[in-house]
Chains A and B, each alone.
Chain A
Amino acid sequence: MKRKVSILTLVVILISQCLFLPGCWSRKEIDDFAIIFGSSTDITTENGIDKYVLSTSVMRPPSQGKERDQSGKGAPSEIFLKGKGPSFQEALMDSMKELPRNTFFGQILFNIMSERAAKEKTSQLMEGFLRYAQDRPLSSLYVTKGGASKVLQALPTSYSSLSLQIKKQEETALRAGVACGVSLEQFVEWLLSPDRDAVLPEIETVSREKGESVPESIIVQGFGIFRGAKLVGWLNQDEARGYLLITKKIRDGQIPIPFTMNGKSLVYWLTGAKSKIESRMTDGSPLFKITIQTEGTIYESNNYDVSAENIKSLEQAAGEKIQELPLKTIAKAKEYQADFLGCMENLHRYHPSAWQEIAPNWRESFRNTDIEVSVEAKILSAGAARQSLQIKK
């Protein structure tokens, strides 16, 4: 009898638990969510007070989307909301005023900072993102020149939603060698580390015609350079390539690098690259050596005959051309005294005692240091043709 009662109690308890499956206090109904895909933060000054301007891109609830479809207009799958307030959270709640739903950041894909936000509020924003447990550590971060809210207003091309497009563009940008994604987690690690500065990919809007009110689409290209928690400058396309060659391993690359050989211009189609940084200490000042190995093919030879004899000299010519890219990047890094290349990090890791010596003014010593770059460019093939076309006169 007693056994029966206890089994019954157990069953009742188990069943009653089902009632609380969505949670009791923190009950969440998916219908009530405003699922935020991305946000962008601006700073403006109004009457002498700095204000956050927050734009969010919220998933359009399915039912709402359908109604629009029936009326014949293809509605974008995201809603654009904008809010303003003296603090980030006030701005967020302000933007949510017109949407009778609870914010949900668990699906967030990216955050964009405007130029001014990146200059003034980077550390505050990052801390907020880390503290808020719903945010995903792998969401991407971007900076943009000027205001940030215009980016979210752009229309998606070839994707159903802008957020998906941005996420995808991050991957293709690395292959094209123009930018790469940086996750929230990675960015904060750079900000906190004593020996390395951070970069964030740059996102821009493009318009086919000048003066359009709604930008046509977006591109991810270039980087914003941070010194400490402050945006100080930008890397253009060549410098961004140099940065990627120094710090990243590139696979399945699609990077054309034009070079000249005997007066003819050829294109080295870079498909893969890896690099290595070595550091050492001589006479109290650090010395770095960056070795980059690349692989590529020549498709566009401008009727130049690529043969076994001249391939070595072609490789050298291509290598010299590639070498210019990292050198440009290094010059930029020294100009801003921001070591986002990981040189000092390498010194810190492999020569900790040397690092201790220069740690108090490491930026200064980074600017004066010698960084040697050597590039070994390999030409794997010249495509499927054995020789170039020699057409009768």
Chain B
Amino acid sequence: MLLFLMIAATVLIFEPGMLIRKAKQSAWLADILSLPAGFITLWIVEKLGQRFPGSALPLYSEIVLGKIVGKVYVGIYILFFFVVNLLVIREAADFLTITTLIGTPVSILNLIIILASGYAAAKGIEVIAHMGQFLLPLFLLSFVFIFVFSLPRADWEKLLPLFEGGLQPMLQASIAPASNYGEIVVLAMLLPLMNKPQEVKRKAVWAISVSALFLTMVSLLTLTISGPYVSGILLFPVWNLVRMMEYGKYLQRVEGIVVPIWLTVIILKSALFYNLSCKSTARIFGLKSEKPVFYLMVPLLFLATTFLFGNTPELAEFQDKYWPPLALLCEIGLPLFLLIIAVLRKKKEEVHQ
């Protein structure tokens, strides 16, 4: 559930636009194409988990790779969590300043989101999970709402012709959602914390599939309602889609209800990554208490979110071009590398260790 929210939360804002710009009418197929990335990541993480039951990534990476290389390896992951987190926050803040809170400095929005998510993160993973339980129905409801009221406007002929321009643009477009599904890699950190580890695999498969279904549905709706050409130009096509839900004088401006729900889910996702990056940091430095890291993370994240990207076009370009391959490296490349080394060196956690 938490995983589903985590994957589905951010795809809403920028992703459909990116997809549609590249793959035009076939954008919704690109979503499905990118699905294997999630499953591959899940499989690798699962195998690692089976080898080292009861311990998380920072622990077994040191067992497999040795102390120093292991620490560097975890360091990369801390950076990964950190960057995902800062992208999530910055995305949300930019979205807000452009659409609803015109004129509010991004830095302030960043700070507010960081404080909220940091508070949740410091309370621990269990609190975040409960938060997910609370938010999931709201999130789903907001979507059912969008689907129900948008469907009558849909013109399915706009999806034709399929596969125009061949497979290549679709594959190119599918990298971005692939990196999104690959975020399931956080399971490597969460596995030992689960109550019922044997059920995790089933649940994770479910989470990836359902969020893929969601993204596909959202892409389909934006394509059939706004059309592939306008959606490709807009920065936030889904927001535009919600704004187009107008039925006379009775149903208007639904975005005012839907956007806050999205925001809470984004804060949830940010809290999760916040928590993970702080925990791993504390682990590799062998700190007794995690508290200082949580405090330190606030100014760090604030500076990073505010100053790394000067403006929205820069952010969009980074997300579009540079981030997906890097993310996929962390999500599939590095865990696979770890698994191969573990198999070669025949490292396995003893049951009593």
Contacts and interface: CB of A to CB of B under 8 A. Distances in A.
A312 interface: no
Contacts of B243: 136-138
B166 to A, nearest CB: 11
A286 B227 CA distance: 24
A24 B102 contact: no
B311 interface: no
B210 interface: no
Nearest to B246: A138
A133 B99 contact: yes
Given A192-B229, A192-B233, A348-B161, A25 B103 contact: yes
A24 B104 CA distance: 7
Nearest to B97: A26
Contacts of B234: 130
Interface in B209-250: 226-227, 229-230, 233-234, 240, 243-244, 246
In the A-B complex, list the 3 residue pairs whose CB atoms are closest, starting with the nearest.
A192-B229, A349-B160, A352-B161
A350 B229 contact: no
A188 interface: yes
Given A24-B108, A349-B157, A350-B160, A185 B102 contact: no
Contact of B226 (A133, A136, A189): A189
Interface string B19-44: 00000000000000000000000000
B69 interface: no
Contacts of B140: none
B98 interface: yes
Q: Is the interface of B mostly helix, strand, loop or mixed?
A: loop
Given A25-B103, A189-B226, A189-B229, A350 B108 contact: no
Contacts of B101: 23, 25-26
B61 to A, nearest CB: 36
B299 interface: no
25 contacts: A23-B101, A24-B104, A24-B108, A25-B101, A25-B103, A25-B108, A106-B253, A130-B233, A133-B98, A134-B102, A136-B246, A137-B226, A137-B244, A138-B246, A185-B226, A185-B244, A188-B230, A188-B233, A189-B230, A192-B229, A192-B233, A348-B161, A349-B160, A350-B160, A352-B161
B104 A25 contact: yes
Contacts of B226: 137, 185, 189
A66 B311 CA distance: 46
A350 B246 CA distance: 31
B227 A189 contact: yes
A185 B98 CA distance: 19
Interface in A344-375: 348-350, 352, 355
Given A130-B233, A185-B226, A193-B227, 8 more contacts: A26-B101, A26-B104, A130-B230, A137-B244, A185-B240, A185-B244, A192-B229, A349-B160
Residue from B226, B227, B230 having most chain A Cβ neighbours under 10 A: B230
A291 to B, nearest CB: 16
Interface string A127-169: 0001001101110000000000000000000000000000000
Interface string B304-319: 0000000000000000
Interface of B: 98-99, 101-105, 108, 157, 160-161, 164, 226-227, 229-230, 233-234, 240, 243-244, 246, 253
B313 to A, nearest CB: 12
Interface string A34-51: 000000000000000000
B117 to A, nearest CB: 15
Nearest to A351: B161
Contacts of B161: 348-350, 352, 355
B27 to A, nearest CB: 15
Interface of A: 23-26, 106, 130, 133-134, 136-138, 185, 188-189, 192-193, 348-350, 352, 355
A130 B226 CA distance: 13
A185 B104 contact: no
A352 B240 CA distance: 29
A122 B252 CA distance: 28
A106 B240 CA distance: 13
Contacts of A136: 243, 246
Contacts of A193: 227, 229
A23 B98 contact: no
A137 B229 contact: no
Contacts of A349: 157, 160-161
Given A133-B99, A349-B160, A352-B164, A23 B229 contact: no
A20 to B, nearest CB: 10
A389 to B, nearest CB: 43
A23 B103 CA distance: 10
Contacts of B157: 349
B286 to A, nearest CB: 28
A126 to B, nearest CB: 10
B110 to A, nearest CB: 13
Nearest to B241: A137
Contacts of B230: 130, 185, 188-189, 192
Contacts of A189: 226-227, 229-230
Nearest to A355: B161
Contacts of B104: 23-26
Contacts of B244: 137-138, 185
A138 B101 CA distance: 21
Given A137-B240, A349-B161, A25 B105 contact: yes
A277 to B, nearest CB: 10
A188 B244 CA distance: 14
Nearest to B243: A137
A349 B103 CA distance: 42
B351 to A, nearest CB: 40
B102 A133 contact: yes
A26 B253 CA distance: 19
Contacts of A25: 101, 103-105, 108
Nearest to B115: A13
Contact of A26 (B102, B227, B229, B240): B102
A105 to B, nearest CB: 11
Nearest to A356: B164
A164 to B, nearest CB: 11
Contacts of A26: 101-104
A133 B105 CA distance: 17
B325 to A, nearest CB: 29
A141 to B, nearest CB: 14
A192 B233 CA distance: 10
A110 to B, nearest CB: 14
Contacts of B246: 136, 138
Residue from B98, B227, B246 having most chain A Cβ neighbours under 10 A: B227
Contacts of A133: 98-99, 102
